[in-house]
Amino acid sequence: MRFILRRMAFYLFTAWAAITINFFLPRLMKGDPISAYLARNQGKVSPESIESLTTLFGLDSDKSMLQQYLDYWGLLFSGDLGVSISNGLAPVSAVIASALPWTLGLVGIATVLSFLIGTSLGSVIGWRRGSRADWAVPFATFFSTVPYFWMGLIVIAVFSTTLGWFPASHAYDKGSQPEWSWDFIGQVIAHGTLPALTIVVASLGGWVLGMRNMMITVLDEDYVTVAQAKGLRQRRVLTHYASRNAVLPQLSSFALALGFIVGGTLVMELVFSYPGVGKLLLDATSAKDYPLMQGLFLVITLAVLVANILADVAYAALDPRTRQMES
Amino acid sequence: MSLTTAPATAPTDDASATEPQRPRRAPRIGQSFAMFRNGKSLAGLAILGVFVVVAVLAPLIAPYDPLEKDFMALRQPPSAAHWLGTTHMGEDVFSQIVYGTRGVLVVGFLAGVLATLVAVIVGVVAGYVAGWRSESLSALTNVFLVIPGLPLIIIVASQYEDPPLMLIAGVLAITGWAWGARVLRAQTMSLRNRDFVQAAKANGEKLWRIIAVEMLPNLTAIIASSFVGTVTAAVLGLTTLAFIGVIPITNLNWGTILFWAQQNGAFPDYWWWYIPAGLCIALLGMALSLVNFGIDEYVNPRLRSAGERARAARRKGLQVDGGVTEVRTVSGTGDDARAG
């Protein structure tokens, strides 16, 4: 119970910190793109949007900082993130909501796949230490240092442009509408295969190496020796004794790597023109759409936080000590 | 590398300034580099050294100026005149890569040094002090671990028309220090209660001296490994930012080359334009990871000997898929053989 409370406090604190950073970012920046935009487009922007934009970007400098901060929180709780300049003044929250499922689906599936495959590969390589399986280590290292975007571009060049096996960009064929039909789902899978494959290949190496190193450390422990001395089958020792303990640090580094994974997939979406959150952020950057950028950063951070909470739950399920420990 | 080990060895020199300790100075400095004295680290350092030499001697190595345009040789495949071909403007790709090494290394190492400084200060202090101060520093570290770095960097960099290199290195450092600080905190906490630290405390040593002289030398390997890790992340971050186009194109680095290649339709036909730059990034990253593997094996001897032990066991004809079972299996088969 104490453990859960501590983690809750930590996540609340992190969420607060992220939101506060989001509050101060535009106020620390020089220049004022928003009021310039508002001046250029007088009459087109509704008064309510102007009001929320001034609060979001600290243009109401006649108010005290504290008052601005409180107003900002008020806006967030009502779900108002301002309007997106580059998307015909649509509300930022609606723009993000249309892109979020694509990213969550693609990145979520690819990351979980990569974690599962990499961890199982790593445990087998660690188990068969000193054999030919060790040759996987340099390859895994190489693939974990290859930049995401470069691999993506080459994969497009080979499998899409040259061989024509998969479409090179977007989430579904041009001209079709999102719907629940087999045809559309097939399109989504065809379009998603290459991006997912690149994410898996690029991030696999890290999981393999981490798991291998943990396995080698764990295999020297006495409880593994005892399990083998009891005459348990090798497979059972591997899965229930060695892997189960070796996977714990993997899980916590999984939680911590999420921020990094998100960064990598931003670029992946740019390369594949995938209509997700990352592409949206990059488009917003080039269009100088500051409200959208702010909102996206907030949503991405909160998404990473939620994923961290899930990793924590998994950790607690696998490691009884975290549930019992009184610290 | 010497950058990180220097702060750890320097205090050692001060400490050995007193007469009786003087003879120990030389081996102590040698010990600080012991973590690099293994095949993997040396291979990594050698590759890294080649890149550093290329960056320093860029004007001597590069056959052309990186932006020199030759409109008679557009998009040429590799030839004797242009080793790695030319771009759409007739610029020599090889020269661009040679000069680009500078941008990558300068920003990478600058970010690495800044981040390591922050990580050491926050991590060691958080590990040494106790109570709410330690907890709050730890909370700060965790917040920076969770906040996604690249989106933050993109947003900050996009607010500037022409972000200076220093700013980019700074932002990469701000988003990259937390992991090192976390590992350092854990290690410092375990050092805090060791006898030699308690003895120094009982002697009435000042706090900074306990940290600088007693603790830092024992943290060198972890500091070095977090430095190398940050440099790797910074190199990837920098090239990614350059590829996205957030970093001004005047700062030539490998990411900029890829940016131009993609913008000008190099994919998939003009392979000489984009393959070498990406391979350079991967090679540099690989070199840095090798250095870190070496340090890992130095810190955790099980990693170092696991493969050798297993191979040795196999040479003796033992089964290696487990710790003791090999012995049991062999005695078992031996019995069988005798029985049969």
Across the interface, do A145 and B289 touch by the CB < 8 Å criterion? Answer: yes
Average pLDDT over residues B155-184: 82
- Predicted confidence at residue B112, as pLDDT, reads 92
Residue contact A285–B289, C-beta within 8 A = no
Please tell me which of the candidates B147, B154, B328 has its beta carbon nearest to residue A285: B154
CA dist B102 and B89 (Å) reads: 22
**CB–CB contact B147 A142 (8 Å):** no
A269 and A238 within one domain: yes
| Residue given tokens 């083998």 in the structure block | A228
- Which of A58, A91, A124 delimits the end of a domain? A91
The one-letter code for the residue type at A6 is R
The whole-angstrom separation of Cα A130 and Cα B313 is 10
Q: Does B289 touch chain A (CB under 8 A)?
A: yes
- DSSP alpha helices (H): ranges in B147-192? 149-158, 165-174, 178-192
Cα within 13 Å of Cα(B197), Cβ side: 18
Residue of B nearest to A141 (CA): B286
pLDDT digits (tens, 9 = 90+) for B38-63: 778 888 899 999 999 988 888 888 77
Collapse the DSSP code of B88 into the 3-class scheme (helix H, G, I; strand E, B; otherwise coil) and give the result.
coil
Task: Find all residues with CB under 8 Å of B52, minimum gap 6, and list them.
Answer: B105
CA B7 to chain centre: 17
Give a yes or no: residue A326 inside a domain: no
CB-CB contact of A194 with A160 (8 Å): yes
Residue A183, token pair as written in the block: 């045809």
Last residue of a domain, one of A25, A60, A91: A91
Nearest CA in chain B to A213: B303
Q: Is B59 exposed, middle or buried (0-12, 13-18, 19+ CB in 10 A)?
A: exposed
Indicate if A147 and A123 belong to the same structural domain.
Answer: yes
**Assigned token pair, A36:** 């310039």
B85-95 residue pLDDT tens: 777 777 788 88
pLDDT of residue B114: 94
Q: Which has the minimum average pLDDT: A46-50, A70-74, B199-203? A: A46-50
Closest CA to B216 of B257, B187, B238, B177: B187
Identify the domain boundary among A67, A91, A115: A91
Same domain, A167 and A33: no
pLDDT of residue B198 exceeding 50:
yes
* Residue A232 sits in the same domain as residue A177: yes
Which residues from chain B sit within 8 angstroms of residue A267, using beta carbons?
150, 240, 243-244
Mark whether A174 and A301 lie in a shared domain: yes
Partners of A157 on chain B (C-beta within 8 Å) are: 267-268
Instruction: Name the phi and psi angles at A44, rounded to 5.
Output: -80, -30
Extract the tokens encoding A2: 């104490």
For B240, the closest of A147, A228, A262 (CB atoms) is A147
Is residue B10's pLDDT more than 60?
no
State whether A213 and B296 contact (CB < 8 Å).
Answer: yes
The pLDDT value recorded for residue B2 is 37
Half-sphere exposure of B339 (CA within 13 A, CB side): 6
- Co-location of A138 and A39 in the same domain: no
- The pLDDT assigned to A117 comes to 92
- Residue numbers in A near B268 (CB within 8 A): 154, 156-158, 161-162
Chain-chain contact of B328 with A229 (C-beta, under 8 angstroms) = yes
**Domain of residue A134, residue span:** 96-320
Using CB atoms, pick whichever of A130, A267, A288 lies closest to residue B307: A130
| Chain centroid, CA A108 distance in Å | 8
Are A160 and A303 contained in the same domain?
A: yes
Which pLDDT tens digit goes with each residue over A202-253?
Answer: 888 888 888 888 888 888 888 888 888 888 888 888 888 888 888 888 887 7
Name the band, by pLDDT with cuts 50, 70 and 90, for residue B188: confident
Reply yes or no on whether the pLDDT at A4 is more than 50.
Answer: yes
Residues A85 and A101 in one domain: no
Distant-in-sequence, close-in-space partners of B112: CB < 8 Å, separation ≥ 6: B3, B173, B227, B228, B230, B231, B234
Chain B nearest C-alpha distance from A179 (Å): 31
B38 touches chain A (CB under 8 A): no
The answer to whether the beta carbons of residues B319 and B329 sit under 8 Å apart is: yes
DSSP state of B63: S
- Could you tell me if B197 and B210 are in contact, meaning their C-beta atoms sit under 8 angstroms apart? yes
Tokens of A30: 């020089």
Taking CA atoms, what residue in B is nearest to A242?
B322
Number of Cα atoms under 13 Å in the Cβ half of residue A145: 27
Rounded to whole angstroms, how far apart are CA atoms A293 and A288? 8
pLDDT at A291 over 60: yes
Q: Are residues A165 and A307 in the same domain?
A: yes
Number of domains in chain A: 2
Mean of the per-residue pLDDT values of chain B: 76
The answer to whether residue A314 is domain-embedded is yes
Greater confidence, B26 or A58? A58
Answer yes or no: do A50 and A188 share one domain. no
Task: Read off the tokens for B152.
Answer: 């933050």
The CA-to-CA distance between both ends of chain B, in Å, stands at 61
Same domain assignment for residues A76 and A122 = no
Closest-CA residue of B relative to A215 is: B303
- pLDDT band at residue B325, thresholds of 50, 70 and 90? very low
Query: A171 near A191, Cβ under 8 Å?
Result: yes
Q: What is the pLDDT of residue B13?
A: 41
CA angle B115, B100, A156 (to 5 degrees): 95
* pLDDT of the residue at A281: 85
Ranking A96-110, A124-138, B284-298 by mean pLDDT, the lowest is A124-138
Task: Report the pLDDT value the prediction gives residue B30, as an integer from 0 to 100.
Answer: 63
Among A285, A290, A293, the strongest candidate for a mutation testing the B interface, having the largest count of B CBs within 10 A, is A285
In a domain, A166, yes or no: yes
B248 touching A, CB under 8 A? no
The pLDDT value given to residue B317: 65
Q: CATH no. for residue A198?
A: 1.10.3720.10
Q: How far is A66 from chain B (nearest CA, A)?
A: 22
Q: With H, G, I as helix, E, B as strand and everything else as coil, classify residue B16.
A: coil
The minimal CB distance from A281 to the residues B151, B267, B306 is found for B151
Fill in the amino acid letter for B154: I
Helices (H), ranges, chain A: 2-28, 33-40, 47-57, 65-77, 92-127, 136-145, 148-155, 182-219, 222-229, 234-236, 244-272, 277-286, 290-318, 320-324
Surface of B (127-156) touching A: CB under 8 A: 139, 142-143, 145-152, 154-156
The answer to whether residue A327 sits within a structural domain is no
Q: Average pLDDT, stretch B182-202?
A: 86
Encoded tokens for B194: 């060791």
Compute φ and ψ for B316, nearest 5 degrees.
-80, 0
Does residue A242 sit within a domain?
Answer: yes
User: Are A161 and B240 an interchain contact pair (Cβ–Cβ within 8 Å)?
Assistant: no
Q: Which residue has the tokens 């499998």?
A: A159
Do A210 and A306 belong together in one domain? yes
Asked whether the whole model's pTM tops 0.90, one would answer no
User: Which residues between 173 and 212 in chain B have a beta carbon less than 8 angstroms from any beta carbon of chain A?
Assistant: 179
Question: Looking at the predicted structure, is the pLDDT value of residue B265 above 80?
Answer: no
A293–B158 C-beta distance less than 8 A? yes
Cα separation of B90 and B76, whole Å? 8
Rounded Cα gap, residues B163 and A148, in angstroms: 24
Note whether residue A325 is domain-resident.
no
